[in-house]
Amino acid sequence: MSQRSPALSPATNLTGGRTLLRLATAGSVDDGKSTLVGRLLFDTNSVLADALDHVEQVSKRKGLDRADLALLTDGLRAEREQGITIDVAYRYFATPARKFILADCPGHVQYTRNTVTGSSTADVIVLLVDARKGVVEQTRRHLAVASLLRVPHVVLVVNKIDLVNYSEDVFTAIATDFALLARSLGVLETHCIPVSATEGDNVVTRSHRTPWYDGPTVLSYLENIDDTRLAVGADLRFPVQHVVRPQSAARAPWAARATEVNGDYRGYAGKIESGRVRPGDEVIVLPRGSHAVVEAIDTPDGPLTLAVAGQSVVIRLGTDVDISRGDIIAATDAPPAPIRDLSATVSWLAERELTVGARVLVQHGTSLTKAKVSSIDGVLDLNFESGTVPCWLPAGKLALNDIGRIRLALASPLPIDSYREHRATGAFILVDDADGWTLGAGLAGSTPLTARAADTLDTLRPAPDTLVPEPDTMRPEPDTMRPELVEGRASTSSTPITPSTDSHHQAHQGKTS
Amino acid sequence: MSADQLRPLTELQVLESESIHIIREVAATFASPIMLFSGGKDSVVMLHLAAKAFWPAPIPFGLLHVDTGHNFPEVLDFRDDAVDFYGATIKIAAVQDYIDDGRLRERPDGTRNPLQTLPLLDAITDGRHDAVFGGGRRDEERARAKERVFSMRDEFGQWEPRNQRPELWSLYNGRHLPGEHVRVFPLSNWTELDVWDYIAAEKINLPAIYYAHEREVTLRDGMWIAITDVTPVRQGEAVEVRSVRYRTVGDMSCTAAVLSTANTVHDVITEVGLSQLTERGATRADDRLSEAAMEDRKREGYF
């Protein structure tokens, strides 16, 4: 009897147990992505008997001689009929150490917006190539998107390695090509793994047919990534969701477990998007700029002495400040200046086009602000060769799947971070005021792509007063992606990692020679 | 700071905080949200999260139960107790009322699950609810795997899977046209095992039929069906008293039991962890109707 792998010793409280990692898959059509995902689910015993029955029946009906694992990720009827994937699907699997949330993103060119969607929450991108084809245009596009969205880790799965006779030379050539691409796009953490998803080589089980590869399998790589320090190590950002003022004194029986509060209780509910907070910390309330001291961090499970990125809590402040939904409680060190002129990179997600003068809503953190497009400064040309970077082309509008540089005039000042430093509070979405459609995904500040791209943009139009000056990316960037915590176990490396450190990328390529 | 304090959040901490964030966003941005509550384990966990989300204030929206009239009495008793325990209020939309006055007709197969859609949509319209919380999880079924946390419904309550809004970061967009509403699924990223782990960690009470008990059952189409007024024994069927429990507690006419001796939450977790059948495949006859059964019902406005 095969068993599901999840830890069988149940968590007895919320703080004991597995960690969680979010990943997104990307690849071209026919790279075997569905098979890889099916294999991860199958080999971690995350597929149960009736789902497997379905796959076996359908495989038989199709005249296949063995179960097609790609069918495990079969979704909507239209997809089954057309044999394609339409939309991002979420899959769940687990090992005793970690739970995984996988955003399965379609590989079609016309569905690039789904890759942006999947990448927005991902800690790691699993990018596939066909060993017979190597790095292709789609690989470059997907990696550029991963770089734009600052996904901390990228793993390249060189799939169908069985179809090139498990050749080390083929793998090494692809890995070298990919390293060049990753370096030019400023992707910090990459790793390459030779895989046959159909045969199961190096997905969950180490393959004896690739003796020349001594790196981790896909699953073991995913189990061992430590990314929690990224968000926790950054400055505090706490968008206020609502003000808690319990007017009724009636306490429901369940709340007997919690501390009783008095009638003049006033707290601010929200989720910590980055950083950490402790009672006694001095904070600034944005956009107004008032200073206050954290008096307590409340939860129904009792007050906390420390809360970190990812936690939903209620913060109480010592001073009586005027705070409402949409405000951000932030660390006093380098808080974002509220701006009315927002310069950003935007991934356009809608069929309707964006033109200069358009009125949109900007949803950022817990705030919603009216805005007008003051200029469209360029559109990213994702047709580029390895070793070069994408260029900005002049554009007067943005169409579906375009990635563009725009400027927005905001109706009220927004304390927005640079996306390259704060993924959560540097991000925003554009919303259609009329019908509510989500139009675009915005990354505030300078584009995280490289110097040449920025330079090209600068030549298109004189640089306005942007939120963050276009950086001189030829010099090593501040180490914003890998903040070193001063204390605690999260700090494993004392060497700053910059995109210009060649040896770093070499070290993460697996054994390539 | 000690090293211990900086350890990564656990899966359950992350899921709980994510769900609380979602529930608070809805309360802050919609005019009239309502939460579906059946007394089933997913809706109990959702209600528990709602209580935690607004503490020390009460839950700022009401609950709604679409009662098929075929619910297990133990579950209905539990439902009312839970509403009091969490200090909530509940409205009941009864399928039986619709059958009595002719707005709905009993189906030949006797199952009432598909009949819930009309009373649900009427209750949403009558209450002018612009957001409806549901306990659906993406791991339950193929069609659900693609559904957004904020899932738009048109004025007929229909879901259009090919025309969904992209959902990025944790920026949930609930803007909609008059007449439309948004279904919100705070448990989207939870699995069945996560729900049980959380029930154990938070010591959440459930209806007793989730745990092993002796019951008169018969084996029908490979599933253990309880002998009740709604599902009487059929000719030629053998009735046995077996130790069973329910993995889901839907309509009695189409919810089957599983043989089990798991009578504590920890036993259940062990059993769920070992089980060879997905939750719906084991116990929901209505999802077996066709490969696309759930997709069809969702399109029509089902939960």
Cis peptide leading into residue A287 (ω within 30°): yes
Q: Closest-CA residue in chain B for A81?
A: B292
In this prediction, residue A35 has a pLDDT band, given cuts at 50, 70 and 90, of confident
Where in the sequence of chain A do the CATH 3.40.50.300 domains occur? 19-226
A11:B167 CB<8 A: no
For residues B154-182, average pLDDT = 88
A87:B277 CB<8 A: no
Q: Closest-CA residue in chain A for B202?
A: A13
DSSP-derived secondary structure for B76-135: HHHHHHHHHHTT--EEEEEHHHHHHTTSS---TT---GGGGHHHHHHHHHHTT-SEEE--
Q: In this predicted model, what pLDDT tens digit does every residue of A339-363 receive, in sequence order? A: 999 999 999 999 999 999 999 999 9
Q: Beta strand B223-226 with A354-355: parallel, antiparallel or unpaired?
A: unpaired
B20:A271 CB<8 A: yes
Residue A234 has a pLDDT of 86
In this prediction, residue B201 has a pLDDT band, given cuts at 50, 70 and 90, of very high
Copy the structure tokens of residue A230. 């990224």
B10:A14 CB<8 A: yes
Q: Closest-CA residue in chain B for A351?
A: B163
Please enumerate in sequence order all residues whose Cβ is within 8 A of that of A48, keeping only pairs 6 or more positions apart, or say none.
A4, B275, B276, B277, B278, B281
Shortest Cα distance from B90 to chain A (angstroms)? Answer: 15
**Number of Cβ within a 10 Å radius of residue A249:** 9
Mutate to test the interface with A, among B54, B89, B142, B190 (most CBs of A within 10 A): B142
Lowest mean pLDDT among A449-463, B9-23, B263-277: A449-463
* DSSP letter assigned to residue B156: T
Shortest Cα distance from A397 to chain B (angstroms)? Answer: 21
Copy the structure tokens of residue B61. 């929206």
* Whole-number Å distance between alpha carbons of B25 and B50: 11
A490:B170 CB<8 A: no
Class level of CATH domain B9-194+293-299: alpha beta
Please enumerate in sequence order all residues whose Cβ is within 8 A of that of A63, keeping only pairs 6 or more positions apart, or say none.
none
Domain A231-331 is found in CATH 2.40.30.10: yes
A13:B143 CB<8 A: no
With a pLDDT cut of 90, the percent of chain B lying above it is: 61
Where in the sequence of chain A do the CATH 2.40.30.10 domains occur? 231-331, 339-460
With a pLDDT cut of 90, the percent of chain A lying above it is: 51
* Whole-number Å distance between alpha carbons of A472 and B250: 61
A312:B17 CB<8 A: yes
Residue among A429, A437, A364 nearest A117 (CA): A429
Q: Which residues of B touch A437 (CB under 8 A)?
A: 165
Alpha-carbon dihedral sign for residues A212, A214, A220, A223: negative
Copy the structure tokens of residue A90. 């979420």
Helix (H, G, I), strand (E, B) or coil at A100: strand
B146:A75 CB<8 A: yes
Of the spans A259-268, B30-39, B173-182, which averages the highest pLDDT?
B30-39
**Number of Cβ within a 10 Å radius of residue A267:** 25
Q: Which residues of A touch B140 (CB under 8 A)?
A: none
Q: Under CATH, which number does the domain A19-226 receive?
A: 3.40.50.300
B6:A232 CB<8 A: yes
In this prediction, residue A390 has a pLDDT band, given cuts at 50, 70 and 90, of confident
Q: Which residues of B touch A258 (CB under 8 A)?
A: 55-56
Q: Which residues of B touch A423 (CB under 8 A)?
A: 169
B172 touches B150 (CB < 8 A): yes
Q: Which of A4, A94, A271 sits opposite B21 (nearest CB)?
A: A271
Q: In this predicted model, what pLDDT tens digit does every residue of B100-121 receive, in sequence order? A: 999 999 888 778 888 899 999 9
To the question of pTM greater than 0.80 for the whole model, the response is yes
CA of A49: how far to CAs of A2, A3, A167, A376, B281, in Å? 10, 11, 36, 53, 9
| Cα-trace Rg, chain A | 24
Copy the structure tokens of residue B12. 């359950």
What CATH homologous superfamily does A339-460 map to? Translation factors (2.40.30.10)
Residue among B148, B174, B173 nearest B161 (CA): B148
Q: Closest-CA residue in chain A for B298?
A: A76
ipTM of the prediction: 0.89
Lowest mean pLDDT among A166-170, A318-322, A375-379: A318-322
Query: Hey, where are the domains in chain B?
Result: 9-194+293-299, 207-288
Residue at A71: amino acid letter: L
Q: Which of A49, A427, A487 sits opposite B169 (nearest CB)?
A: A427
Please enumerate in sequence order all residues whose Cβ is within 8 A of that of A287, keeping only pairs 6 or more positions apart, or say none.
A327, A328, A338, A412, A413, A414, A415
In whole numbers, what is the pLDDT of chain A averaged over residues? 81
Give the H or E element holding residue B279: helix B279-283
Shortest Cα distance from A310 to chain B (angstroms)? Answer: 6
Q: Which residues of B touch A435 (CB under 8 A)?
A: 175, 177
In whole numbers, what is the pLDDT of chain B averaged over residues? 87
Mutate to test the interface with A, among B2, B4, B13, B298 (most CBs of A within 10 A): B13
* DSSP letter assigned to residue A226: -
B10:A15 CB<8 A: yes
Cis peptide leading into residue B56 (ω within 30°): yes
Q: Closest-CA residue in chain A for B14?
A: A310
From the number of C-beta atoms within 10 Å of its C-beta (0-12, 13-18, 19+), residue A146 rates as buried
* pLDDT higher than 70, residue B210: yes
Helix (H), strand (E), coil (C) string for A348-398: ECCCCCEECCCEEEEEECCEEEEEEEEEEEEEEECCCCCCCCCEEECCCEE
Shortest Cα distance from B102 to chain A (angstroms)? Answer: 34
